[in-house]
Amino acid sequence: MFSVWHQASFGQVRTVTELKDNWKFSKGKNDNAFATGFDDKSWQTVQVPHDWAIYGPFDKEVDKQVVAITQNNEKVATEKTGRTGSLPFIGEGWYRNSFTLPNYKKGRKVILLFEGAMSQPKVFLNGQPVGSWNYGYNYFYFDISDRINATGQNLLAVHLSNQGLSSRWYPGAGLYRKVSIIEKDAESIEQWGVSVTTPVATAARGKVNIKTTVAGQDAWLVTEIRDPQGRFVASDTARKPFGKEFDQNLAVNQPLLWSPETPSLYTAVSRLYSGNELKDEVVTRFGIREISYKAGVGFSLNGQVRKIKGVCLHHDLGPLGAAMNKSALRRQLQILKDMGCDAIRSSHNMPSLEQLELADEMGFMFLAESFDEWAKPKVDSGYARFFNTDAEKDIINLVKATKNHPCIIMWSSGNEVPDQWGSEGVKRAKWLNEIFHREDPTRPVTVGMDQVKATMQSGFGALLDIPGLNYRTHLYEEAYKTFPQGMLLGSETASTVSSRGVYKFPVVKGVEKQYDDYQCSSYDMEYCSWSNLPEEDFMLQDDKPWVIGEFVWTGFDYLGEPTPYDDKWPSRSSYFGINDLAGLPKDRYYLYRSRWNTQSPTLHILPHWNWAGREGQVTPVFAYTNYDKAELFVNGKSMGIQTKNNSTPQNRYRLMWMDVKYEPGTIKVVAYDKNDKPVAEQSVSTAGKPYKIVVAPDRSTIKADGEDISFVTVSVVDKNGNVCPTAADELSFAVKGNGTYRAACNGDATSLEQFHLPHMKAFSGKLVVLVQANKTAGPIELTVSGKALKAGKVTINSTDK
C-alpha cells in the first residue's frame, strides 16, 4: 500500500511530504486496526482531506437533540432534528496508510503534522501509540523520530471518535485537513519556530523583526528577505542565539504595505548553519503592515482609519462537507471580494491554514477564533470536557501555527460562552487573554459576547482588548459608555434569514416567521428573536465612529442550525447566509454589495416576476443599489421615483415600491445620479416554460492535480434565455474525459438529495455542479440533462501548468 505524495524540498536539508493518496478508511469499531498485520484490503480507498459523513444519507435521527437553545432565547426544550446537519458523523473511524523515507539517515528528526482531525484522534505508528489530541479544529504534531522504520515501510494508523451532542452545527468527520511528514536534521529550526512581526510599517521604511527558535549547538543563522517579485531586499547574519532563539531586525526601504486593497507578500528565507554546513532552511511568507486600535479613533490599518466589512464563516464547504479544498475556499473568497467584503471571522473554530494563506494572498483581514465553549457547556459532550486541561496548549498551537499571517488582525478566545456570567468567567477570560498576549503581544483579543448586560456588570467585557458584541444593537450605546476601551466591534451581526429566490407575502418585517414549505422570504425582512435586519448595523457603523465594523452572520449558508426551522423536518442547513449553500448569491448579497463595494456600481431588482395567480395583487419591488434614486417601470409604465431617505432604516439603504400590483411582463429599474441623469438600469421579465439548460463554469481551465474543482452554475431557462425562477426540474449530470463528477448543490435547506449522487432537483431555477480534475491533463466534458429540456454541455480544460 505505497503512496505517492506531493513533496517539497528545501535545499535538500528538509523534506515536507503530504500524505494524500491511498489511505484506507473504515467506519466502525476495529480493535486491532493499528496493528501492522491487520488486513485492511476490504476497506475503502480515500484521499485525504476526507469527510466520511458528507456522503450521507440525511437522517432525522442522527444526533437528534432535545434541548432549549439558550443562545436563541428558548425556554422550553424541543426536538431538534437538523441541528448538526442530519449527516452520519457520529461514531468511530479508522484511517491507515504506509510510507517510506527513502532519503532518511539515522539521527535525523521526523515530525508528523496534522492540520485538523475530527475528532479526538489517537495516532499509532508501526503498531505503537504515538499520541493523541482532543480538539478537532486544532493543528498538532508529534516527533516520531525514534519510531521510524528507516529501511522499509512505516504503517500509520489514526483512530477518530465523534460523539453525539458534541456540536451546535455540522462538524464533519475524519481526517478533513492535511496530514504531512517533515524530515529534517536534528540541528534545525523548530516546528513553527519562526516568528515575524513588523513593528514599523510606513511608506518609507519597514522594520521586520524575526525571532527564530532552533535546536542545535554552535549554530548560526542567515535570514534574507525577498519582495513580492522575488527580489532580494535585505539580509542579516546572527551568530549567537539568546538561549534557543535568534532575534534579528531587518530594514526594508519603501515597502509595499499589505492591505485588502494591496495584499503584498514578502518572503523570509531562514538558513541555519553549523560550521559551514547548511543544516536547515525554512521559507516564511509575511506582510509588512501596521494595525492600531485607539479610543476615539477606532481601527486603523497602515495609518488609515477604516471600518471592518466582515462576514462569519463556518468551516464546511457545502456539498464538500468539512473536507478541505483550496479551490472551493478560493471561490468563496472571490464571491465575497466582489461583494466588497474585506474581513473573515472563523466561526467558531480555528481556521484552516489554507484559508489563512488565501486571505493573505487575496486581501482579507482575519479574526481568528478559538472556542465555542469554555468550562461551562452548551452541549453535553462539547469542548467543555477538555477546556481546563487543553485550552492553553490549543491556543499555543493556534498562535504558533498562524501568527505570521498578516491577514490576522485580532484573536477571539470565545463565542457566546455561558462563562460570561459570574466571577469564574471573568477569571477565565483574563487567563485566556494572558495566554494570547504572552504568545503574541502584537494583536488584541476579543470575545463574541451575547450576554452584554452581564459582562457590563461583572467586568468581563472591560478586561477584553476589544469588546465584541453579538447582536444586541439596542445595548451599543450603554456598552460604549460602560466599557473603558472607547470602541465596540460587531463581532456577530444581523442573522437575517432568507431562501434564495423565495418570496413571501405580505412583505412586512417578521421575527422567527415560519411557512409550510420551511423556507424564508428573500425580501430580506425576516430575522431571529435575538437579532435584527442589516440596516440597524449599517446605521451604527455610519453614525457612530466608535463602532469599528462588523462580521455578518453569515457569508454563506452552512450545514446544520436550520433556524427558524430547528424543530422541523426536513430542514438541515442554515438560512443565514448572504450566499446559499451552493455559493449562489441571495438578494441580500446585493444589499451588502451596494454598501461595501465602492469600486463597482450595483443595481439589483427583486423579486422575480413569475406570479401566476397574483395578477392584480400587491407585489412590492425592491432595488438594492449604491445610487440614491431610481425609477421603476412595469411594462413601460412608470411607478414613480424612489429616493433613499431617513424615514425608516430600510428606506435609508433600500429603494422600495410597496404598492406595485403584479401583471406579467417586464419590470425595469433605472438608476439616476445626483444630476438626475440615468446611469444604470436592470430589468426582469416573466419567464415562459422551461426549455433548456444553460451551464456556466466559474473557471474553464483548472489544474490536473486531482484536487482542483470547477464550479458550474446550472440554470433552467425559457426559449428567450430567461431563468425560470420557480423551476424544480430533476437534472442529471454526466462527466467524461480527464475529470470526475464530485458533487452538486441547489441551496435548498430542505433538500434530502445526497450531494455526491449524479442527479438533483433545481431550486429556484438553479443549482451548482462541481467537476473535479484528475491527475492527467486534458479536456473534461460535463453534460447536464433533464426531462423535456434541451441539455447543457460545457468543456473544461485541465492542464499541468
373 is catalytic: no
Of the residues 369, 416, 550, 561, which is catalytic? 416
- Closest by CA to 734, choosing from 794, 799, 797, is 794
Write the single-letter amino acid at 654: R
Q: How far apart are CA 470 and CA 452, in angstroms?
A: 9
SS3 521: coil
Q: How far apart are CA 203 and CA 302, in angstroms?
A: 9
Q: Which residues contact 439 (CB under 8 A, 6 or more apart)?
A: 395, 396, 399, 400, 403
Q: How far apart are CA 335 and CA 333, in angstroms?
A: 5
Instruction: Locate all alpha helices (DSSP H) within 214-365, ordered by sequence.
Output: 326-339, 353-362
Instruction: Locate all alpha helices (DSSP H) within 465-611, ordered by sequence.
Output: 476-482, 534-543, 587-596
CA 581 to each of CA 19, 427, 440, 493, 758: distance values in angstroms, whole numbers, following the listed order: 29, 39, 35, 19, 18
Of the residues 369, 492, 536, 561, which is catalytic? 492
Using the 8-state DSSP alphabet, how is residue 1 labeled? -
219: which 3 cell numbers?
Answer: 549554530
Check if the beta carbon of residue 721 is closer than 8 Å to that of residue 747.
no
Check if the beta carbon of residue 440 is closer than 8 Å to that of residue 395.
no
Q: What angle do CA 682, 687, 691 make, to 5 degrees?
A: 125
Q: How far apart are CA 361 and CA 2, in angstroms?
A: 34
283: which 3 cell numbers?
Answer: 521559507
| Residue 354 backbone zone (phi > 0: left; psi -120 to 50: alpha; other: beta) | alpha
Instruction: Locate all alpha helices (DSSP H) within 13-99, ordered by sequence.
Output: none
SS3 336: helix
Pairing of strands 65-67, 291-294: unpaired
Write the single-letter amino acid at 136: G
416 is catalytic: yes
Strands (E), 127-204: 128-132, 140-143, 154-162, 179-184, 188-201
- Closest by CA to 20, choosing from 324, 308, 397, 299, is 324
**Phi, psi angles (nearest 5°) of residue 490:** -80, 85
Instruction: Locate all alpha helices (DSSP H) within 208-266, ordered by sequence.
Output: none
Write the single-letter amino acid at 485: Q
Using the 8-state DSSP alphabet, how is residue 518 labeled? S
SS3 359: helix
798, with CB counted inside 10 A (0-12, 13-18, 19+), is buried
Q: What angle do CA 604, 597, 341 make, to 5 degrees?
A: 110
Rounded (10°) CA dihedral 414, 420, 423, 429: 20
CB burial of 728-748 (b: ≥16 within 10 Å; e: otherwise) equals ebebebebebbbebbbbbbbb
Kindly report the number of other CB atoms within 10 A of residue 765's CB atom: 24
1, with CB counted inside 10 A (0-12, 13-18, 19+), is middle
Strands (E), 68-152: 78-80, 91-99, 109-114, 122-125, 128-132, 140-143
Check if the beta carbon of residue 706 is closer than 8 Å to that of residue 763.
no
SS3 209: strand
Write the single-letter amino acid at 115: E
379: which 3 cell numbers?
Answer: 452541549
Check if the beta carbon of residue 523 is closer than 8 Å to that of residue 622.
yes
Residues with catalytic annotation?
Answer: 416, 492
